Structure 1
């Protein structure tokens, strides 16, 4: 039985940050437990390689939701990182802080101390911004690259479209003017993915007081008289209990954190009784309040070469592969999501209500003996895409049994509110106006059915239900708030009623932020670490 000051469950985006911060003094011992394995994988390192990791069970939990009425009775596929670095090792690399008003929403919902003025400094502390010319701004460990010099030239049509529509254009959605169409910043360093493991965990592992154990499935948090004393872990060598002298920090993500709490006797009382689990503390919010973004693509054949032309033929893949290996440049060094931004779908709105993805590529998912493969189509094409930025629907994640090996039951309740349905129609109408601009008329040879321009409001919503998909931003299943009537943790991220236990990951978001969730997850972990360290400094020795 090992004993450590802190045990961090999960070496994902949040856990890596926490482990680095809590071990910085060199005195506190930190154990990091990761269910997955090594991230030393070519497809992880190469940015565009996430098309390969998307369906790889060796590094991906590959969750599926229950059939959902809001999306035509379809199941949704949810990739989640099962690897060092977590989902920051397999995501699409987009770095979006979110709109400042997102965090004012957090504060208003009961997350005191989490408003924009509270969190901004934590973003700044982790960021190292690499300019288009190679200039560096900020001294944080997380590299965020401006890759505008490598984006495809056909992207110019998107910016022309924005100007024709009167939409704002911004240099950076993470800057002082975040609203508008832009080219996305991505988490890469010198053309390679720069995950949370690269930025935070690897520096921490150079210290003698940090231990990482991979292939470690935490099955249960050990709780004695309402205080956490350690965790029970399934290893290749068998089960083992690790003790925590100070705290256990659960950073297993929005799917696995509520699952672990429920397996440990924390959660809805009726559920735990049905599963034969002794109730340590009943709280229906554990696993509840789930939110996620839904997006949809509209496909077009193009009048000029796009990324398809470069990456569809075998010789194109070979050429760009050689360019990447030799120079770390070109489309393989980028995210497929090159442009987009945050815009208002109509006049009169107080803030952006839609996130756009505007991509010079179309693709299909081809079957394979081992796993599906994402391939560009054999013609030049492009995508217009939107996701409503702030859904209001709430779902649940709950254990199916008391067996830790069973995947949980994910019930998203997508599009279950009238507002979410109205936001879908507003986003579809926005895409219609985009498609009718001279810039897009010039770029589009033809729409690939269904043609958004031919749909009325009912048709937009019906098509969205039939074709939309998760944008893989699940949050809020261990929601932060004032008390147990609506939340799982307080603003200090301590689990209500249990000593020595915090949850630090996207599951504690009170609400989903307007855009991609990796950046706010890293920010949250950085601020959470500062809270833990501040509290530690106040304790008598």
Structure 2
């Protein structure tokens, strides 16, 4: 039994020690415009309807509210309802809590990898590991963004939610190990994406409190914004007869009591829009449920009417593969989330955290949720079921350990998303095809080789037991049920097979509504008027080491651009100048 407990403990720590890319603020309190959807009118009208109050949606809505009326529809609750859950010490428990009304929704990809979706105002920033790092210059250039406006948008975000972390013992040793392993030069503290080892920003303040995208709503004009919580959008509505192309005109959403409401755009002839910011899973899913997607697939699921045959919706799904190492420490370690990143010249990144705690009662809840989900999606459950049922213990655990992960840049490997049913609250079927492309696999091997050097370095030696090696710790991972994939090896002699067998997610999934395939460079859905997608589903790859900084920036950047277009269309040159400033 002790061996199984140890295996479970290691698995839980490994499975959660990096959800990248947070929400409590003393001065924020409950915003006056934040209300439960049960009190929403049956019919309402707004200039813009933003579907999803997440990492991009909060920044976008706060910006648009300066010169237009905005409705934000968030399927989850408020992070302000439980400030304790956003404390750094509860990171693991919050991420693993997958009860029906929790902030985290578990999903398992068809690849057999556990993943999580946020369902809370602030999105992934409420449940991630907090690291804040900007996109690389090449990413900005390839996106066609104006670099000065990007800089201003980043700064707008950083003033509200980002801090410089205080680097202590374990993180200092991790930094020294990276430098000794050749991940140089040392760049100190910076938000920028620079080759070498750096200290990045964090959305966790010095008191261990998390500041999230929801805090960006402090910028909003309270007289022009409404945020409805527990509002599950079921369909986008379109006008199909009055214009050459279908045009979005509103949405239908359901509240927690099961009552349906309709929200419409104020004026169909103006520049008013519905904007999807529901994330890489829900945005392509909602397009399909609204009749925009591959015709044959929609017809097979009884979606009616089919508004537009859009074969690229749901295509190009990517998720950065991650392979972890857990290092038990002979001495106490501080509680820290991600503060330092190693950025080698090859295509992978190395990060770490330490000293997390978890509640065993929540792990039981997590594993029960896993089994229920496996039954729903018809993946094998017998072995895991017997393992979980054999566990019968109740106590809390604090990890005297550190964890390191290797994340592959890109990735080049791509998959797809399809409907499983027509319920927007259920997970669609998602396949990421981890390590399908040889370059991704080669970058994994290079990254793991560097990670082994970090663990074996003199700089890190005081935080591992004598005689423990990086290669030996990788062997330990092969014993853990960190995914549902079959094991083909029993040692790390073959690092390529190790990458495939032990792959996990870094929760940086993206794609499904990619620029140039589903949306244009202004994020307008191709073939449809009055509808944009502004979130990570539009990305061709993830920016920098961690995407949350750039996703929040994108919300602000596009909000400014939309307001300038709006002012210009109304002939208001004075307002256009004000927005640019």
Match of 2:350 in 1: 356
Following the alignment from structure 1 to structure 2, what is the Cα–Cα distance between the partners of residues 362 and 202?
Answer: 30
Q: Relative to structure 1, is the Cα distance of residues 29 and 469 closer, same or farther in structure 2, using a 3 angstrom cutoff?
A: same
Which secondary structure state, in structure 2, belongs to the residue aligned with residue 54 of structure 1?
helix
Out of 293-302 and 443-452, give the one that drifted further: 443-452
Q: Relative to structure 1, is the Cα distance of residues 47 and 533 closer, same or farther in structure 2, using a 3 angstrom cutoff?
A: same
Following the alignment from structure 1 to structure 2, what is the Cα–Cα distance between the partners of residues 296 and 502?
Answer: 35
Which secondary structure state, in structure 1, belongs to the residue aligned with residue 186 of structure 2?
coil
Which secondary structure state, in structure 1, belongs to the residue aligned with residue 47 of structure 2?
strand
Match of 2:189 in 1: 172
Residues 154-204 of structure 1: CA deviation (Å, up to 9, x unaligned): 3332233234334221213414x7222233321134632111111x22442
Query: Given that residues 254 and 476 in structure 1 are in contact (C-alpha distance below 8 angstroms), is that contact kept between their aligned partners in structure 2?
Result: yes
- Equivalent of 2:59 in 7, 17, 27: 17
Asked if residue 292 in structure 1 is aligned to residue 319 in structure 2, the reply is yes
Out of 163-172 and 231-240, give the one that drifted further: 163-172
- Equivalent of 2:124 in 75, 87, 97: 87
Q: Relative to structure 1, is the Cα distance of residues 414 and 55 closer, same or farther in structure 2, using a 3 angstrom cutoff?
A: same
Q: What's the TM-score once normalised by structure 2's chain length?
A: 0.75
Match of 1:146 in 2: 164
- Equivalent of 1:64 in 107, 131, 148: 107
Residues 97-152 of structure 1: CA deviation (Å, up to 9, x unaligned): 13222333xx2xxx4x2375663332133322xxxxxxxxxxxxx3211122xx43
Query: Given that residues 86 and 94 in structure 2 are in contact (C-alpha distance below 8 angstroms), is that contact kept between their aligned partners in structure 1?
Result: no
Query: Given that residues 348 and 444 in structure 2 are in contact (C-alpha distance below 8 angstroms), is that contact kept between their aligned partners in structure 1?
Result: no
Out of 249-258 and 32-41, give the one that drifted further: 32-41
Query: Given that residues 60 and 82 in structure 1 are in contact (C-alpha distance below 8 angstroms), is that contact kept between their aligned partners in structure 2?
Result: yes
Following the alignment from structure 1 to structure 2, what is the Cα–Cα distance between the partners of residues 515 and 284?
Answer: 31
Which secondary structure state, in structure 2, belongs to the residue aligned with residue 439 of structure 1?
coil
List alignment gaps of at least 5 residues for structure 1: 69-74, 129-141, 308-330, 346-352, 482-486
Query: What's the CA shift for 1:404?
Result: 2.7
- Equivalent of 1:488 in 518, 528, 540: 518
Match of 1:337 in 2: 338
Match of 2:408 in 1: 388
Which secondary structure state, in structure 1, belongs to the residue aligned with residue 417 of structure 2?
strand
Query: What's the CA shift for 1:216?
Result: 0.9
Query: Given that residues 107 and 117 in structure 2 are in contact (C-alpha distance below 8 angstroms), is that contact kept between their aligned partners in structure 1?
Result: no
Q: Relative to structure 1, is the Cα distance of residues 381 and 87 closer, same or farther in structure 2, using a 3 angstrom cutoff?
A: closer
Query: Given that residues 476 and 510 in structure 1 are in contact (C-alpha distance below 8 angstroms), is that contact kept between their aligned partners in structure 2?
Result: yes
Which secondary structure state, in structure 1, belongs to the residue aligned with residue 549 of structure 2?
helix
Following the alignment from structure 2 to structure 1, what is the Cα–Cα distance between the partners of residues 55 and 179?
Answer: 36
Following the alignment from structure 1 to structure 2, what is the Cα–Cα distance between the partners of residues 418 and 429?
Answer: 17
- In the comparison of the two structures, how many residue pairs are matched? 470
Following the alignment from structure 1 to structure 2, what is the Cα–Cα distance between the partners of residues 11 and 276?
Answer: 29
Query: What's the CA shift for 1:297?
Result: 1.8
Match of 1:316 in 2: none
Following the alignment from structure 2 to structure 1, what is the Cα–Cα distance between the partners of residues 309 and 518?
Answer: 10
Query: What's the CA shift for 1:511?
Result: 1.8
- Equivalent of 2:300 in 274, 291, 297: 274
Query: What's the CA shift for 1:448?
Result: 8.1
Match of 1:465 in 2: 500
Following the alignment from structure 2 to structure 1, what is the Cα–Cα distance between the partners of residues 106 and 330?
Answer: 38
1:39-438 pair list within 5 angstroms? 39-40=79-80, 41-56=82-97, 57=99, 58-68=101-111, 75-104=112-141, 107=142, 111=143, 113-114=144-145, 119-128=150-159, 142-148=160-166, 151-166=167-182, 167-175=184-192, 178-189=194-205, 191=207, 192-198=209-215, 200-204=216-220, 207-225=222-240, 226-235=246-255, 236=257, 238-245=259-266, 246-277=272-303, 278-307=305-334, 331=335, 335-345=336-346, 353-361=347-355, 366=360, 368-371=363-366, 380-438=400-458
Query: What's the CA shift for 1:61?
Result: 4.5
Q: Relative to structure 1, is the Cα distance of residues 215 and 381 closer, same or farther in structure 2, using a 3 angstrom cutoff?
A: closer
Match of 2:546 in 1: 516
Following the alignment from structure 1 to structure 2, what is the Cα–Cα distance between the partners of residues 259 and 43?
Answer: 32
Query: What's the CA shift for 1:442?
Result: 4.8
Which secondary structure state, in structure 2, belongs to the residue aligned with residue 461 of structure 1?
helix
Query: What's the CA shift for 1:456?
Result: 8.8
Following the alignment from structure 1 to structure 2, what is the Cα–Cα distance between the partners of residues 382 and 196?
Answer: 28
Match of 1:137 in 2: none
Which secondary structure state, in structure 2, belongs to the residue aligned with residue 62 of structure 1?
strand
Query: Given that residues 337 and 352 in structure 2 are in contact (C-alpha distance below 8 angstroms), is that contact kept between their aligned partners in structure 1?
Result: no
Residues 2-58 of structure 1: CA deviation (Å, up to 9, x unaligned): 111111111111111111111113xx2111111111212134431342212112232
